[in-house]
């Protein structure tokens, strides 16, 4: 996801998206431990998307204070 797309989400949507991405990351890493994933760069992209989402959540919390 791009930062513009993330900024357009509501707070609840951000939280739900973080949970979905973390579940996908867990599944991907477990599958990668058993047999190699065809594109291991997807794991890195997933981690970075989670970080982007968390950054937006923290930014909104700071703005609310």
- The tens digit of pLDDT for each residue in 16-59 reads 999 999 999 999 999 999 998 888 899 999 999 999 999 999 99
* Whole-number Å distance between alpha carbons of 22 and 49: 10
Q: For residue 65, what pLDDT is reported? A: 87
Q: For residue 49, what pLDDT is reported? A: 96
* DSSP per-residue string spanning 10-60: -HHHHHHHHHHHHHHHHHHHHHHHHS--S-THHHHHHHHHHHHHHHHHHHH
- Whose CA is closest to 53, among 16, 23, 26, 24? 16
Q: Residue 5 corresponds to which tokens in the numbers above?
A: 């797309």
* Whole-number Å distance between alpha carbons of 65 and 53: 19
Residue 4, pLDDT > 80, answer: yes
Q: For residue 1, what pLDDT is reported? A: 75
């Amino acid at each position: 996801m791009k930062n513009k797309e993330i900024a357009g989400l509501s707070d609840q949507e951000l939280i739900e998206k973080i949970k979905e991405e973390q579940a996908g990351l867990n599944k991907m890493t477990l599958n990668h431990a058993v047999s190699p994933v065809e594109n291991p760069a997807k794991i890195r992209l997933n981690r970075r998307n989670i970080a982007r989402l968390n950054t937006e959540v923290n930014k909104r919390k700071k703005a609310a204070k």
